[in-house]
């Protein structure tokens, strides 16, 4: 019996040695259960997003990996094989420019801060949609007429310089292989508190990020309004915010700074006129609509993706609408719609002098109106479906925006049901917001 035990032990040791020799040596590494700190091979091509011919885009972006001790990376759904994308003439392309600010999975959601998990879902939706994500270089080359793009494109921009850009958004963008632009205001990027450091920005630039200016101090509109356009003091402030900020970024990061975005979207004719003199090729606003080849280069629209308002993102990805404001049901020429057969506010085809107007329709003249809220609907260009209210006594359908309306042309669509009918009735009207209204 003792001899048999010795024989079995000897055989076990021999088999164990053979197994260790035939298995990958990494199998014996006790750290094999930790995510590798070495970058993995770049991800498979995104569906419908092959490299653009002669593209000056950022270099390929490696997949994001986790450092030991961090939570494992999110496992995305398998990526389908890439399919060819047709390049079209410049005037056939439309670009949805997305504007983000800050990101966090734990801090409260605000207009300027989005859940990291929601941002991931949005980026995965873009990847799975097959819509081409372009770099800022691609965008500028297309705008200047030197490059063709697919018919539908997305440009990703992130404002200010919050640390969440680096800790939360950047790993996801790098994983997806999406180029993006960071619009920085130079006084903010100190590395302290919630601000990014210079080294964080340099790392992102090495992996697909482009830097643009967001001014020096991110001044509120009231500061600009205290000065008179055309005066030396105003010109000096324009130089400080638009000119000096670009020079600072060029010096810090040794990179061309070809784009600017207006803080809060606030711009004046003097800013627009001076922008080319600071070597900017484009400047961006916060007007939510698609960019076309004939869009004004220094008033480029962007969709501001706010926390808790996912409909803006969905509207940005909807390329089926052809109207300038991408309103549900809007189309070219919608600004001249015939007025509804009942009173509406703002009045149809009129110019509103209020930038946060109460939008309403007086339905008291409609017989058989069903007063339950579920029998109504309201959509407004730039907002999509809105949280309207209905005053059953006055039969007034109304809604007040929670922020100013930046679009100059607004289309409203309402629906209601009446007794004895299964299908809703629809009315639409349009109005304008006066461009002379100062920004608050």
Cα 89 from Cα 149, distance rounded (Å): 8
Predicted confidence at residue 336, as pLDDT, reads 58
pLDDT band at 408 (very low <50, low <70, confident <90, very high): confident
| Structure token digits, residue 186 | 């130079």
Starting at the edge strand found earlier in the chain, the sheet holding 351-352 runs 351-352, 425-433, 409-416, 376-380, 384-385
Could you report the per-residue pLDDT of 376-400, keeping only the tens digit for each? 999 887 677 889 999 999 999 999 9
Cα 155 from Cα 343, distance rounded (Å): 40
| pLDDT at 80 exceeding the cut of 90 | no
| pLDDT at 210 exceeding the cut of 50 | yes
Predicted confidence at residue 3, as pLDDT, reads 52
| pLDDT at 158 exceeding the cut of 50 | yes
Q: Are 284 and 257 in contact (CB under 8 A)?
A: no
Predicted confidence at residue 16, as pLDDT, reads 43
How much is the mean pLDDT over the chain?
A: 80
The closest of 409, 427, 410, 406 to 418, measured between CA atoms, is 427
| pLDDT at 145 exceeding the cut of 80 | yes
| Residues of each domain in the chain carrying CATH 2.60.40.1220 | 334-433
| Residues of each domain in the chain carrying CATH 3.20.20.370 | 90-316
Does CATH number 3.40.630.40 belong to domain 90-316? no
Cα 261 from Cα 296, distance rounded (Å): 14
Could you report the per-residue pLDDT of 324-379, keeping only the tens digit for each? 444 333 333 344 567 888 999 999 888 888 878 899 999 999 988 999 998 999 98
334-433 adopts what CATH topology?
A: Immunoglobulin-like (2.60.40)
Higher local confidence (pLDDT), 75 or 291: 291
| pLDDT at 58 exceeding the cut of 50 | no
Q: From residue 139, give the alpha-carbon distance in Å to each of 40, 58, 212, 277, 297.
A: 29, 13, 13, 20, 11
Say what the pTM is.
Answer: 0.60
Predicted confidence at residue 163, as pLDDT, reads 97
Mean predicted confidence (pLDDT) in 288-302: 92
């Amino acid at each position: 019996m003792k001899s048999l035990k010795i024989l079995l032990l000897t055989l076990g040791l021999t088999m164990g040695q053979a197994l260790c020799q035939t298995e990958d040596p990494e199998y014996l590494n006790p750290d094999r259960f930790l995510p590798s700190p070495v970058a993995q091979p770049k991800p498979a091509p995104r569906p419908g997003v092959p490299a653009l011919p002669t593209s000056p885009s950022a270099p390929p972006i490696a997949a994001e990996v986790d450092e030991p001790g961090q939570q494992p990376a999110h496992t995305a759904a398998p990526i389908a094989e890439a399919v060819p994308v047709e390049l079209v003439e410049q005037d056939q392309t439309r670009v949805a420019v997305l504007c983000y600010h800050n990101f966090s999975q734990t801090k409260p959601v605000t207009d300027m801060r989005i859940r990291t998990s929601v941002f991931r879902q949005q980026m995965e939706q873009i990847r799975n949609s097959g819509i081409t994500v372009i770099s800022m270089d691609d965008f500028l080359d297309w705008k200047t007429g030197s490059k063709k793009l697919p018919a539908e494109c997305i440009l990703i921009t992130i404002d200010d310089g919050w640390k969440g850009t680096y800790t939360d958004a950047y790993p996801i963008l790098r994983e997806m292989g999406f180029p993006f632009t960071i619009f920085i205001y130079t006084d903010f990027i100190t590395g302290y508190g919630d601000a990014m450091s210079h080294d964080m920005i340099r790392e992102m630039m090495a992996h697909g990020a482009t830097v643009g200016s967001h001014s020096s101090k991110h001044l509120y509109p009231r500061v600009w309004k205290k000065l008179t356009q055309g005066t030396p003091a105003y010109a000096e402030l324009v130089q400080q915010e638009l000119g000096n900020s670009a020079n600072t970024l060029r010096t810090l990061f040794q990179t061309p700074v070809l784009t600017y975005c207006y803080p809060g979207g606030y711009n004046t004719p003097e800013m627009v006129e001076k922008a080319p003199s600071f070597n900017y090729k484009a400047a961006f606003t916060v007007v939510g609509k698609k960019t076309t080849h004939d869009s004004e280069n220094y008033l480029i629209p962007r969709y501001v993706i706010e926390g808790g308002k996912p409909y803006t993102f969905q509207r940005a990805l909807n390329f089926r609408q052809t109207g300038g404001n991408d309103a549900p049901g809007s189309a070219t020429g919608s600004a001249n719609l015939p007025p509804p057969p009942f009173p509406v506010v703002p009045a149809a085809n009129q110019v509103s002098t209020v930038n946060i107007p109460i939008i309403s329709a007086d339905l008291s003249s409609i017989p058989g109106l069903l007063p339950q809220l579920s029998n109504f609907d309201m959509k407004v260009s730039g907002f999509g479906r809105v949280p309207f209210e209905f005053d059953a006594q006055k039969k007034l359908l109304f809604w007040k925006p929670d922020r100013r309306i930046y679009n100059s042309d607004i289309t409203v669509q309402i629906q209601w049901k009446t007794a004895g009918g299964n299908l809703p009735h629809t009315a639409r009207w349009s109005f304008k917001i006066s461009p002379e209204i100062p920004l608050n």
